[in-house]
Structure 1
Amino acid sequence: MSVETKIEALRETLRHHEYLYYVEDAPEVEDADYDALMNELKALEAAHPELVTTDSPTQRVGGRPKEGFAKVAHSRPMLSLDNAYNETELRAWSDRVHAALREGETVEFVCELKLDGLSLALHYGPGTDGSSLLQRGLTRGDGTTGEDVTTNVRTIRSVPLSISAAKLKKAGIPQAFEVRGEVVMPQKAFQKMNEEALAAGLPVKANPRNAAAGTIRTLEPNIVAQRRLDFYAYFLLQNGEMLLTGQQETLDALKAAGFRVNLHGASVKSIEEVLAFIAGAETQRDTLGYEIDGVVIKVNSTAQQARLGFTGKAPRWAIAYKFPARAGLTQLKDVGFQVGRTGKLTPVARLAPVFIGGTTVSNATLHNADEILRLGVKIGDWVQVERGGDVIPKIVKVDENHPRGTQEIVFPTHCPVCGEPVVREEGEVDWRCVNASCPARLREELRHFASRGVMNIEGLGDALVAQLLGQAEIEPEEGAEEETVAAPVKREALVHSVADLYTLTMDQLLTLERIGQKSAQTLLEEIEKSRRNPLWRVLLGLGIRHVGERTAQLLAEEFASRGQDYEAMQALMDASEEELQRVNEIGPIVAAAIHEFFRGEKNRQLVERLHELGFSFTAEKRQKTSQLEGMTFVLTGTLPTLKREDAKTMIESAGGKVSGSVSKKTTYVVAGEEAGSKLDKANELGVKVIDEAGLLQMLG
């Protein structure tokens, strides 16, 4: 046998045993025998380095990324799921699914456990002899763009580095494809990691999900390899589209190709069977060896999925049923107050530690003064605490079976951080610190401004923000809705507003603790890059009340038509409430908040300074015409050439509106193939029905 043949035989043997151990949980050999085979392969590859390949089992742990994690666009957005918390909400979703399809059409559902981890996208490409090789692994990121964590993904033993031509053929998968799934940290690995952290005097992780997320973004692959992460596959794509005809067929193909697929799933034909599966899954929850927080239900047919489509953030053909929050009973010892970036004071309950759902809870949010009044809670009361979504602890009620507390919870009249008076505006439930220079507000503003979904300044974390503000770093309070800083000043602050980030120098950064030349240079490059962010991200970064991602994008599109770059920003700042309400989807409350924000002289000065510092404020202008002005359209069925979102954009750009339901006010129903109940409703009401060609003709 030649050396090359022997090396390849050893690789195949090791891959076989890796699959049995890490995917099937059914090892055939002892660890010592596996290690002997691995050592033999390592020795042969060391003697013949020209024969080493990237998919060899010896190559799972490589060097650390040279420049951190690169950003890569996803082939299609990695969306979140809408949630259902009870049977009523789940049945309502099922009714919507059936109503959107043809009347009487059969719908099959696939139920899968909702793993409590983080999403990954794995890209495979052609290898030799008809095989496929792992080329790239991406985190979810902001859903549109992820981080390239391939080096760390290669250390996950349940992720195949290569898939043979025989397995691809058996699974019916081409050489180039994409797999999406969930990375989880098993409970045993989580427990071991925290035990080691305690022994070393280091902080422990709150839960396995946080531990998995932190691990996959560690810059040291050797550390990732030591923490046994698992990958469970559930989607199979090619060029951003579903590859096979059904979700169950997809899971079967993934398993045949050698991926780990969660076996606790089922295909069912009714919502009653879905509910039965959920009940069974909840009873198994503590026996699985990994965390789950619910069940994901998907329409099986990919053709039906395509017809159901998506909302702005989630597919209409899938939903996550969330298990009830886990609860515990403990005593309320005290209440503290924290200040967020909008000045909001959040009361945080200090509790006698209680173990809930795998985590020791010692703090919980009380939300606001009205919630305290509603609960009737006092210091000294025994209270029931739940972890909402199994994450954020909150007090849900006072336990009447224990002696009641006697000390009232009193909101402070002055900010606990800066000492300025707090106010409660008419019609609002929250007390706020209105001091724009409050250190607590500024810290949260900086954290928000730099965060991944906003200005995306990589490397500007909590510890560095605290140093830039001349404040000691404080761990975020568990259960707080908006964290705060109440720390003594250590040094002169380098930053007094978000604009000051853009005047930082290398010499200034090198005076800070635990930051070297390379990390300082990287941070400066990230800050510089953020100047080129589009207008909508800047609007989001300003922290205007009620303005989220969608609203920021709508504002940027609308005001881009009023002028280029900074002119668009100026037009927005000068807009009246009436003008703002004319922007699609913006109502009086949001319009008032935007108008009020830009009436503030300091806010206008901040925008002007950002402009002087080189911000581009670019926005893509939405080309609008008026030929469909005053008309309302409803889209149904599959159109021949247009995706539903594209048709919606074209209609809105021409001055029309798109509604999700047919009524007497509907002007036209645009019907494609397999149009369902909406077409029937249109005929019943006498609403005019047109096809795609008719719509395009109207649009000219």
Structure 2
Amino acid sequence: MTDTATSTKNAAERIAELRAELDAHNHRYYVLDEPSIPDAEYDRLFNELKTLEGEHPELVTADSPTQRVGGAALSAFGEVRHEVPMLSLGNAFEDSDLLDFDRRVREGLDLPAGDLFGGGATVAYCCEPKLDGLAVSLLYRDGQLVRGATRGDGSTGEDISSNVRTVRNIPLKLQGSGWPALLEVRGEVFMSKAGFEALNVRQLESGGKTFANPRNAAAGSLRQLDPKITASRPLEFCCYGIGQVQGELPDSQVGILQALKGWGLPISHELKLAEGVEACLDYYRNIGERRQALAYEIDGVVFKVNNLAWQRELGFRAREPRWAIAHKFPASEELTELLDVEFQVGRTGAVTPVARLKPVKVAGVTVSNATLHNMDEVARLGLMIGDTVIIRRAGDVIPQVMAVVAERRPADARSVQIPACCPVCGSQVERTQLVKRSKGKETLSEGAVYRCVGRLACGAQLKQAIIHFVSRRALDIEGLGEKSVEQLVDEGLVRSPADLFTLRFEQIVGLEGFAELSSNNLLAAIAASKRPGLARFIYALGIPDVGEETAKTLARALGSLTRIQQALPEVLTWLPDVGAEVAYEIHNFFGDDHNRTVIAQLLERGLQLQEEGELHAEFAAATTLADFIDKLNIPFIAATGARNLADKAGSFDGVIALSQDWLELSVMKGLNDKAKQSLREFFANPDNVARARAIETQLRDFGMHWESEKKAVAGLPLAGQTWVLTGTLEAMSRDMAKDKLEALGAKVAGSVSAKTSCVVAGPGAGSKLAKASELGVRVLDEAEFLGLLQQFA
């Protein structure tokens, strides 16, 4: 056999392998909505096949993946034949690929080429982000939506008419006038990042299957056999073009999209017309910089020749138009091998699995570690050491293991086991217990987190606790980074946060990174941190589940460290956004002997808390007897029964007396027999009576009791309003702006909704500003915001 024949035989075998593998992946991606490899891996296989077929054109067949799009329609849906095929796009991965595309376009149109005296003719391109969703076709006849279909294999798709009608931003009837008698609109059904997160939360709460990413969520939601399920999912639609048309339309791509917008169809807020390829590259870089701030996932940018006559002249290849291309961003998903799973210990003792990976470049960054969250996640993934896994990285987010490629599992793969002892201090590792409290009972269940029981005797927990205590949003001690804290702990100089305030110059100087000047600077920074606000101090303590907002609530409402330390869980639940579980975490933290000792030492060593005062007027006499009864969690007595009981008894002593007077209680209206019997049994228990009296006594002591003196609440100018900050503020930091708004009574949120009162938009504002404009929310620039603050100064 000649070398040429051997080469052709080898190529034919490899082509057959690639076609079989790509067909299998197409089926999983388009039909089953269960992709098993990242897009970047698929693109590499596809390009290898394309190259081999280019070198051996005699081996190209009509059924090759390079000659068609996607896979077959799902048999559970009716089939739809696309009169105009729904083709895929060619890809550009480097800037040079886009430059080559532009050159081919200009050559195909026979436009003047550049020379020494000029750059030649330029082509105008329609630019849009490439949404990561499911391509669909919508058919309108006489302005009425009559059919929806998936792309399928490009020629035949699935009839999903009932489902697309449930997508809220797809008009069932076109607006305005002038639309063609027959109009096929093409676009992407997708799910926003916020919608995706909310859906997964609901799926977890209901015990359903969670989705790996917004694309899978959108595809799985749109292709439900029950349209009611589709209707319950947060799907959106964005159109990017047209198919068959009977009637007149503008003669440019941008013109068509603007016309569609006028008829009520959503188009991209990022739509832009670029003159020439350099303007396209600028658009690509700009979108890339803002990619993580967008409200939806994108994986690149699509460029289309804007002139429709030129599109027709350029025509199509077998699989893709010659007048359009998708410039992809660097892959955010890749395949690699799981070499091992190690365990880290956090500030609260949580023992967390971390994946150690064979290094792989993801989105331009080499990744060798990835988060696994907890052992429940390891079980959900079915993960074993030695597996080939899909790694995802988005922006600055810690890389994450998304899925296991089960078919590549080696024979010697090992299971992942939680250690019995802490890998840092050797203390026992225990699984957390979740306590669910309801009327009259507590239910225990296993939590997802394992904890080291060594607390601050565990070096890892101590280091993390100190790092949190000195962090910028806590006591903000400059000069104490992670390495410095580790040194101080390892040298035995710091065994609790209180030890920071006994450090001496001679103990610090000479440590790695500390000379005379830096040692004096650190001691000065520690001294300057001795007057923290109460909210900062509470946050710095690192109470489980108490973040900045909860710390602010505790400080603002109760007004003093003493009241916060003494507060019973039932009293804490009267505060906004403090639920029963968080209330018990707070109460248990301050009930711990070690924690009380550390706090006492901090105060003895010079900490002077600022912004302490009286109970906030909003909470003075804020409780009612009915609320109090309801908080006692007496079985079979809910809010309505509690109100009826309060009206009848008039006081807490009256409630106890009524519970002991069966004759009086038996004729009482508004409580059923079960509730009456439960009331008698509850107060027959001395422990319940003692607990209830303790709660009532504390309400009196704090001034929250229904018989306490009611205080006038001074109205704050922005009370009840929700504000959002976006972009870069030049006159102050975002944190400072947030503090000023909160001091005026506003709540500062992270996302824009119809309930948002105002958005402050600095330079570089992106998706939040666009959302505000879309919803008609008031927007202030920085100068207007500063003027508003001056009014209230």
**TM range, normalised to the smaller chain?**
0.3 to 0.5
Which entry has the higher C-alpha Rg, 1 or 2? 2
TM-score by length of structure 1 reads 0.44
